[in-house]
Structure 1
Amino acid sequence: MATRVVYLPLDERPCNLLYPQQLAAMTDLEMIVPRMDQLGSKKQSADCEELSVWLMQQCKDANVLIVSIDMLVHGGIVPSRLHHDSAERCHDRIRMLETLKEANPLLKIYAFNLITRVPAYSSSEEEPDYYDQVGRELYELGWFTDKRDSVGLTESEEIRLKNITAAIPAEILRDYLARRDVNSQVNQMSIDLVQSGVIDYLIIPLDDNSQFGFSAMEQKTLTVRVELSGLSDKVAIYPGADEIGCTLFSRVFCEVKNYNPSLFVRYSSTKGPLCIPKYEDRCLAESIKAHVTSAGAVISDASNDANAILMVHSPAVGQSEMAETDTAFQDRHRSYFSEINIREFVQVMKHYLKAEKLVVLADVALCNGGDHQLMRLIHAQGLLGQLSGYAAWNTSGNSLGTVISHAVIASYYRFNASEKQDAHDISSQSFYISRLIEDWGYQALVRKQICENNLPGLGASYFEISHVIDEVCELIEVELNRFAEEYLWEQGVKPMKVVDVELPWKRMFEVGFAIQMGGVHGE
């Protein structure tokens, strides 16, 4: 009988709801998820009571539960930043995990709950309304307060902290800090459940964080508790968010299959391992170690012995100096032209592929999409059809967690051909192609093109497309199919058609679609 995995995602977007399902489709594990309409919609929270009833029904005869505590307790990732729930109410909701374990003592629970993010900009798109006015100030308040208490401030920084504190209305600060306090207590409750044996493995990801700030302060408190309690083998705390469903499924897969894969990591920049990526608090190499470990794998000392090769297209600078996909090529930091060698990187990639290694690519030198210069070179070398995985979406952590999980599963079937399912190769390639189309095609090229060339004529903008959503989706579909025809189909990749394009949160940031290949549909 197939291992039955119940999955409660962080929200209803494809990265959280669909990606883990697509990984599961590569395997013989069965994944059960709620209906999309049960998961809320952006700022509209899911019905937590309804989800609790659903969990009780589904977990009675399940083997594994992968659960977002943000969804279980608050109704989703964005509602976790907006709620007015008391700590007592949150405690009542999280105790559902105890009830599930009592009803099914053999159920293994893999959970994750975010350290609430602190965006460095003023926008209420995913935050409380007052973030439009004082979002940046709240970020700086946390940054300078933490830095003052950790390493000290310069005189000008002390003045800035004083001015910020005076600029934030008292009622706003009370609301913001009260919510952070409740969310922090939920993380403590989650660790309590690990300590009592209810949760078998817990990831506490740092969502959009930085070296100093409210998130960094909470992380230190939680890490100290985990280490002093002897729980470091059961609780992981590192940068990430929307990829954790994939990571935990990979870990479950490894435990079910008794598989302990090794990945060899190769960078495009010598400085890359020590750079701190934008939106994160630690160097790239440390983040990779955390992602690999949580996914159930280890880092290999040598490529010859590895089950998979993780090629990491890395930046040579960190934080605010990292380029975004909408940064003009000539405007990138000078290190992109001197401290990253994509020609050597692609030559090594070709060497590994000729040696019949399983190779995946984490394209994280830029934020929010792939590096078109690198991908165009890989295309010119005719290698796109030979890679087994790719990711380049949003943050470095999002991409790493996704492609590492894919590598783990793909490598298992490479080395265990007797267990290979007919659907594995199709599902695996479909997911790989989806990532190329979205992370490179949409995020790096099509999104910018449509924002600049089409939205103004439609009276729309990046965040204001509701009134022309159908027209925009049609434009995206046309351009993604044009991209795929130009770059993918001649590379040994089976032709697929992009269909059913949607913009889940009615903005240009994320996209959903299906790909049609020989009657088989994937994301």
Structure 2
Amino acid sequence: MKKIAVLPLDERPCNYTFNQLLVKGMPYQIFVPELTILGDKKKKGNLPEISKWLYEISKDVDGMVIAVDTLVYGGIVPSRLHHDETAVLLDRLNVLRKIKESNPSLKLYAYSLIMRNPKYSSSEEEPDYYETCGREIHLYGVYDHKSELGILTEEEKMHFEEIKKTIDQASLTDYLERREKNIVVNLAFLDLVKEGIIEFGIVPQDDSSPYGLTATDQIKVRKKIKDNNIELDCYMYPGADEVTNTLLARMINQYEGKKPLIYLAYASITGGMQIPLYEDRLLNETIKYQVLAAGGMIVSSLKDSDLVLLVNVPASHMRETNHQHVASLEYDAFRNLIEYVEQANYAIELGKKVIIADVAYANGGDLNLLKLLRQKDLLMKISAYAGWNTSSNTLGTCIPQGMFDYLYPNRKENLDFLGLRYVEDFGYCSVVRSKVSQTLSLPNHYFLLDGKKGNVVNQIKEELQTFINDQLNGRYTITINDIYSPWNRMFETGLDVTVNENK
């Protein structure tokens, strides 16, 4: 049995637990650090203990998948808040070099995020000042980038000048200086790839956009990748919380000597030609990276494929999940969800493994798709499903899941993960989260509940159980074994579910 150590991006289930659940029932043992040494949202992890754990576990495993942001900053959110000197950050990164030198045969994959730059004002996961000037900091970067490109409109020029005069300079300086430190870490990470310390790397872009600070950082990273001649060994594309799953799939595919062949189809012929919400490039191009990064290859023939990746997407103008009730041509006329589901059924009848990538809406699953999958009795016949948060989060969850079902089919554990995705992505993200949020009263609100296992979480569990009974249970019964709120807010939930066939 191969042993793989995972240093996750943070302590939330999507980063800490998903990778373990995906591999469950396969001849691979996943090791993760104790939650006690990881952080808690804005509180960074115990950096000396994290490095110590990596040193110790590296002696006993065959491979490692490393989130550099956890190693260097103590987690994804602390990477946006720290005040550490650049030399200190680089010293922490150098732990990977020491580990590889002590264990030359160790297979080491890692990823280093480009720090995000949200377009909205909120300090929920950013510095405190982002609550009042986050939007302006984002626009400052957008306008500065467009000015360099010579495409700034007159109206934008006027707004840019106004921002430069009114924005809090101390806040802007703090933000830009942190970005400069973080990009130095990104570039040093690329040197480790060039030296072969890191066998394969990814530079994911969290919540990206075509113009602005994230885009200009990408230019620097892209140049370094080219200069280092590591284009085939390090990819850069949108994503964050799903990358551990992707690298884990790549590593296991390599151990298995497999390159899964994937046939790609969309619910709408123009669906792949749009830029998803929170991302910076055409969906079709991101999917190519997602498949390649996981160790697969897209092929043009259904007959030649091992798996079928069906992408549920509107024709254009992707929406948030809480707008599902609003009729639109992009969703109702310019895509064919009926043919999509029939194609899934046909592929399964041919003996193909089917992956449902539900990116029709951001931040939740498509309830109309759920209805059709249920009518066709496909819920527990497909190999993989995801429909949470961003398009890339979804793709980097369901593609590895599908690959693992291809490598080791008919695992009860895969049914359990399917059940988890249905309860969380359809039930919580698209129904219960909004419903319960509307009932909250002070002192509780969307970003502050009454505890990780308080009364609000109990209310969520009751609503989810109703959803399961009404929308999911039938031939199979899904049971919620545990539930909590990882960051004591409504945005995400932590669930443990099992699926059992009714006989």
- Give the aligned partner of residue 463 of structure 2: 479
- Give the aligned partner of residue 421 of structure 1: none
The answer to whether the aligner puts 1:431 opposite 2:426 as a matched pair is no
More deviation, 342-351/126-135: 342-351
* Structure 1 counterpart of 2:333, from 326, 332, 338: 338
The answer to whether the aligner puts 1:515 opposite 2:497 as a matched pair is yes
Post-superposition offset of 1:518: 6.4
Superposed CA deviations along residues 49-80 of structure 1, whole A, max 9, x for unmatched, are 11111111110122111111100000000000
Partner AA of 1:323 in structure 2? R
* CA 75–250 in structure 1, closer or farther in 2 if over 3 Å, else same: same
Partner AA of 2:320 in structure 1? E
The answer to whether the aligner puts 1:390 opposite 2:375 as a matched pair is no
Query: 2:405 and 2:185 mapped to 1: Cα distance?
Result: 35
The answer to whether the aligner puts 1:448 opposite 2:429 as a matched pair is no
* CA 517–274 in structure 1, closer or farther in 2 if over 3 Å, else same: closer
Tell whether the 8 Å contact from 1:460 to 1:468 is kept in structure 2 after alignment.
no
Query: 1:64 and 1:90 mapped to 2: Cα distance?
Result: 24
Query: 2:140 and 2:419 mapped to 1: Cα distance?
Result: 42
Percentage identity across paired residues of the two chains: 38
More deviation, 14-23/468-477: 468-477
* Structure 1 counterpart of 2:343, from 325, 342, 348: 348
Partner AA of 1:498 in structure 2? I
- Tell me how many residue pairs correspond in the alignment: 501
Tell whether the 8 Å contact from 2:380 to 2:415 is kept in structure 1 after alignment.
no
- Normalised to the residue count of structure 2, the TM-score between the two structures is 0.97
Task: Return 5+ residue gaps in structure 2 as ranges.
Answer: none
Superposed CA deviations along residues 240-267 of structure 1, whole A, max 9, x for unmatched, are 0000010010000001001100111110
The answer to whether the aligner puts 1:3 opposite 2:2 as a matched pair is yes
Tell whether the 8 Å contact from 1:275 to 1:315 is kept in structure 2 after alignment.
no
**Matched residue SS, 1:461:** coil
Tell whether the 8 Å contact from 2:321 to 2:361 is kept in structure 1 after alignment.
yes
- Give the aligned partner of residue 420 of structure 1: none
- Give the aligned partner of residue 412 of structure 1: 407
Post-superposition offset of 1:340: 1.5
Tell whether the 8 Å contact from 2:261 to 2:307 is kept in structure 1 after alignment.
yes
- Give the aligned partner of residue 226 of structure 2: 227
- Give the aligned partner of residue 372 of structure 1: 367
Superposed CA deviations along residues 266-306 of structure 1, whole A, max 9, x for unmatched, are 10111101000010010010000010000000001111111
- Give the aligned partner of residue 71 of structure 2: 72
Query: 2:451 and 2:182 mapped to 1: Cα distance?
Result: 35
Post-superposition offset of 1:513: 1.4
Superposed CA deviations along residues 149-174 of structure 1, whole A, max 9, x for unmatched, are 22511111111111122221111111
How does 1:18-37 map onto structure 2 within 5 Å?
A: 18-37=17-36
Tell whether the 8 Å contact from 2:204 to 2:237 is kept in structure 1 after alignment.
yes
- Give the aligned partner of residue 16 of structure 1: 15
Query: 1:201 and 1:16 mapped to 2: Cα distance?
Result: 19
- Give the aligned partner of residue 135 of structure 2: 136
CA RMSD in angstroms, aligned pairs only: 1.6
Post-superposition offset of 1:413: 2.4
- Give the aligned partner of residue 250 of structure 1: 249
Tell whether the 8 Å contact from 1:323 to 1:333 is kept in structure 2 after alignment.
no
Tell whether the 8 Å contact from 2:420 to 2:497 is kept in structure 1 after alignment.
yes
- Give the aligned partner of residue 324 of structure 1: 320
Post-superposition offset of 1:382: 2.1
- Give the aligned partner of residue 418 of structure 1: none
The answer to whether the aligner puts 1:502 opposite 2:487 as a matched pair is no
- Give the aligned partner of residue 462 of structure 1: 446
Query: 2:319 and 2:339 mapped to 1: Cα distance?
Result: 21
Query: 1:518 and 1:445 mapped to 2: Cα distance?
Result: 23
Query: 2:210 and 2:182 mapped to 1: Cα distance?
Result: 20
Tell whether the 8 Å contact from 2:380 to 2:418 is kept in structure 1 after alignment.
no
Query: 2:289 and 2:451 mapped to 1: Cα distance?
Result: 42
Query: 1:464 and 1:121 mapped to 2: Cα distance?
Result: 19
Superposed CA deviations along residues 462-504 of structure 1, whole A, max 9, x for unmatched, are 11213695111111112222222222221x43x2311221000
More deviation, 46-55/478-487: 478-487
Query: 1:98 and 1:118 mapped to 2: Cα distance?
Result: 30
- Give the aligned partner of residue 417 of structure 1: none
More deviation, 298-307/283-292: 298-307
Superposed CA deviations along residues 82-110 of structure 1, whole A, max 9, x for unmatched, are 00011100111111111111211111110
Post-superposition offset of 1:333: 4.7
Tell whether the 8 Å contact from 1:142 to 1:214 is kept in structure 2 after alignment.
yes
Query: 1:205 and 1:306 mapped to 2: Cα distance?
Result: 27
**Matched residue SS, 1:466:** coil
Partner AA of 2:389 in structure 1? N
Tell whether the 8 Å contact from 1:61 to 1:104 is kept in structure 2 after alignment.
no
Partner AA of 2:100 in structure 1? K
How does 1:156-235 map onto structure 2 within 5 Å?
A: 156-235=155-234
Post-superposition offset of 1:328: 4.9
Superposed CA deviations along residues 188-241 of structure 1, whole A, max 9, x for unmatched, are 110111111111111000000101111111111111221232101111100000
Post-superposition offset of 1:352: 1.7
Post-superposition offset of 1:517: 4.8
Post-superposition offset of 1:148: 2.1
* Structure 1 counterpart of 2:396, from 394, 401, 404: 401
Query: 1:403 and 1:154 mapped to 2: Cα distance?
Result: 41
Partner AA of 2:142 in structure 1? W
Tell whether the 8 Å contact from 2:309 to 2:354 is kept in structure 1 after alignment.
yes
Partner AA of 1:412 in structure 2? L
Q: Which runs of 4+ in 1 moved over 6 A?
A: none
Query: 2:166 and 2:374 mapped to 1: Cα distance?
Result: 52
Post-superposition offset of 1:516: 3.8
The answer to whether the aligner puts 1:104 opposite 2:96 as a matched pair is no
Task: Return 5+ residue gaps in structure 1 as ranges.
Answer: 415-423
Tell whether the 8 Å contact from 2:63 to 2:107 is kept in structure 1 after alignment.
yes
